[in-house]
């Protein structure tokens, strides 16, 4: 009898283990759908004296450089590069999505923060992502179709920023993307790989055919044309953002979204009139002797990066070991506390009074730092409490933000600098294609549940005309004299915040050489379990941190840090993360 019980027990363990492994693999796919291309190897590194461009593809970098050589500014170069990226890196960003820009004007020394985040359709309700039984929809179910699509706002944001910061004519910024669309571009390794594993591209005939899904996806090295996109680019070139918000393109977007068979969207024509990207104030704070500036709400990037660094301000982090477990223990604990606050308090500040000043107050962050012990971990992180009635009864968010995004860092010969992070959210967005480009699924950045388990309303719940919270973290860094010294950002979903914050710790505290920054293992804690990137470099660090009590999850963490550093003699250094296909170049 005892023998039979042992056999049954042993078989149960095997079945449970396989089931758990299957869940882990699914979660890994959801959290890092793009996977990794080349985590082992050297970063793409370049030096220059005049200007520098770092983008996710060599053709986009080349396009931006051409514009700069013609006398264009950083925004001129960024527009040209972004249109090329839409074509050659459609899985990550494009005119069917949105983004955020931080722009530094060298003449006035002003920092401009441009918010190009999409809004929810006006007919959205807080239960839009719930099934009839009150349970939330599965992510792939929610993302695959029109329900998750917001009216695209990237072109409108770029146009408004160009009106303020541009030097070249708008119509001259589309030549490279139109030429590549018409004559064809060579399919890269990453695009080829991802088209073979995108589950939702098969759900629409247009996307299925363009990406050759029925035959295994696009083949690396083949020439791919996109004549429909070329026509779209010509319309935008000649008519600006009006081409996206009225007429043929707007009609095509609307019909594609609302006529989807299994998941029709709630978008209506009037929603296009709500696209009004805003010029806002950057969110800035001090770290050591540096001034760090990022985006405010609806992005959580600026606040959460500054909270992590603000907590770490209360510790000495200098070390000769780039993977010093004492440093990264403190980093993980600081991130744990910052992400917990993020989950409760940050959302579209047109709908909720985000307590930005209170969250970044030095005394508050010092009190938060006292929760961190050097020999143990915080096992149950709690939100900070503020003397603010609007924050007392907010519930914890349940958003599942995906890491398909792109980042451009540019500094022009005039000294103007741009950090642009743009996205269509999940890889290939909603999987819906119209007029040669993919549409976003940004609405799945809302919390699917409107209330937490205790019945408290979640700040980032869906509501009509509301912007979903983002983690995009375009960042500018200034020294104690007010001189611009760093431009950086990354794709990576909610882990973008950790990628940016960790890069700053490595530069400022650990004095790691610029060309080696992205070669360090990615590391993050978003509230509970800690993640350390798979690979031999992270193995020793993992063991050391586990000895302190950290529960470590090892997985691919595909950052795409694109950074420019300016030294004391104004020499420029560009770094492109080796995990993707980016390049850094300047003269």
Mean pLDDT of 270-283: 97
Domain 44-280+398-586 has CATH 3.40.50.300: no
CB 83 within 8 A of CB 233: yes
Query: If pLDDT is split at 50, 70 and 90, which confidence band does 485 have?
Result: very high
Q: Considering the entire predicted model, what is its pTM?
A: 0.92
Query: If pLDDT is split at 50, 70 and 90, which confidence band does 22 have?
Result: very low
Where are the extended beta strands (E) located within 433-560? 433-434, 437-438, 475-478, 484-488, 523-525, 530-533, 552-555
Helix (H, G, I), strand (E, B), or coil: what is residue 530? strand
Write down the pLDDT at residue 43. Answer: 62
How many Å apart are CA 179 and CA 116, to the nearest integer?
Answer: 27
Write down the pLDDT at residue 15. Answer: 32
Tokens 């055919």 sit on residue: 209
Structure tokens at 553: 């999850």
| Mean pLDDT score of the chain | 91
Query: If pLDDT is split at 50, 70 and 90, which confidence band does 7 have?
Result: very low
Active-site amino acid positions: 405
Query: If pLDDT is split at 50, 70 and 90, which confidence band does 517 have?
Result: very high
- Closest by CA to 400, choosing from 125, 36, 99, 31, is 31
pLDDT over threshold 70, residue 228: yes
Q: What is the DSSP letter of 307?
A: H
How many Å apart are CA 369 and CA 386, to the nearest integer?
Answer: 16
pLDDT per residue as tens digits for the range 95-127: 999 999 999 999 999 999 999 999 999 999 999
Helix (H, G, I), strand (E, B), or coil: what is residue 538? helix
Domain-wise residue ranges, the chain: 44-280+398-586
CA-to-CA separations, 577 to 103, 305, 491, in angstroms, rounded: 22, 19, 11
Q: What is the DSSP string of 231-248?
A: HHHHHHHHHTTHHHHSHH
CA-to-CA separations, 264 to 49, 172, 558, in angstroms, rounded: 52, 37, 32
């Amino acid at each position: 009898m005892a023998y039979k019980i042992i056999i049954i027990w042993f078989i149960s363990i095997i079945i449970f283990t396989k089931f758990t492994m299957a869940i882990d693999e699914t979660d890994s796919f959801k959290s890092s759908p793009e996977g990794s291309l080349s985590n082992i190897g050297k970063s793409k590194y370049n030096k220059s004296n005049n200007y520098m461009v770092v983008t996710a593809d060599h053709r986009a970098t080349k396009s931006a450089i051409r514009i700069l050589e013609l006398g264009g500014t950083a925004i001129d170069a960024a527009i040209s590069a972004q249109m090329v990226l839409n074509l050659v890196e459609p899985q990550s960003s494009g005119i069917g999505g949105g983004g955020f820009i931080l722009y530094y004007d060298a003449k006035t020394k002003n920092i401009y923060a441009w918010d190009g985040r999409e809004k929810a359709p006006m007919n959205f309700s807080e239960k839009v992502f719930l099934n009839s039984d009150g349970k939330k929809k599965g992510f792939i179910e929610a993302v695959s179709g029109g329900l998750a699509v917001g009216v695209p706002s990237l072109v409108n944001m770029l146009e408004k920023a160009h009106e303020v910061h541009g030097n070249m004519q708008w119509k001259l910024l589309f030549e490279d993307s139109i030429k590549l669309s018409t004559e064809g571009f060579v399919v890269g390794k990453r695009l080829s790989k991802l088209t073979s594993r995108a589950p939702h591209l098969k759900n629409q005939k247009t996307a299925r055919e363009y990406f050759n899904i029925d035959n295994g996806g696009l083949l690396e090295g083949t020439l791919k044309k996109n004549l429909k996109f070329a026509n779209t680019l010509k319309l935008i070139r000649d008519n600006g953002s009006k081409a996206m918000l009225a007429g043929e393109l707007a009609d095509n977007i609307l019909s594609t979204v609302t006529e989807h068979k299994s998941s029709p969207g709630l978008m209506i024509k009037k929603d296009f009139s709500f696209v009004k990207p805003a010029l806002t104030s950057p969110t800035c704070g001090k770290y050591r002797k540096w001034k760090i500036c990022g985006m405010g709400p609806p992005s959580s990037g600026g606040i959460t990066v500054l909270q992590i660094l603000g907590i770490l301000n209360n510790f000495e982090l200098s070390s000769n070991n780039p993977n010093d477990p004492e440093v990264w223990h403190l980093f993980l604990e600081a991130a744990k506390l910052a992400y917990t606050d993020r989950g409760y308090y940050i959302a579209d500040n047109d709908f909720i009074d985000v307590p930005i000043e209170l969250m970044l107050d030095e005394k508050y962050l010092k009190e938060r730092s006292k929760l961190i012990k050097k020999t143990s971990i915080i096992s149950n992180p709690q939100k900070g409490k503020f003397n603010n009635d609007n924050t007392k009864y907010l519930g914890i968010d349940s958003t599942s933000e995906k890491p398909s995004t792109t980042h451009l860092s540019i500094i022009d010969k005039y000294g103007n600098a741009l950090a642009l992070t743009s996205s269509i959210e999940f890889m290939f967005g909603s999987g819906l294609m119209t007029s040669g480009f993919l549409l976003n699924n940004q609405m799945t950045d809302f919390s699917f549940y409107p209330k937490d388990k205790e019945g408290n309303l979640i700040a980032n719940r869906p509501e009509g005309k509301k912007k979903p919270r983002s983690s995009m973290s375009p960042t500018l860094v200034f020294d104690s004299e007010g001189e611009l010294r760093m431009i950086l950002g990354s794709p990576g979903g909610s882990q973008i915040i950790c990628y940016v914050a960790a890069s700053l710790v490595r530069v400022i505290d650990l004095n790691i050489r610029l060309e080696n920054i992205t070669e360090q293992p990615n590391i993050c804690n978003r509230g509970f379990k800690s993640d350390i990137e798979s690979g031999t470099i992270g193995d020793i660090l993992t063991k050391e941190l586990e000895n302190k009590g950290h529960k470590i999850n090892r997985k691919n963490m595909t950052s795409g840090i694109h950074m420019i550093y300016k030294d004391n003699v104004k020499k420029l250094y560009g770094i492109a993360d080796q995990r993707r296909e980016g390049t850094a170049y300047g003269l």
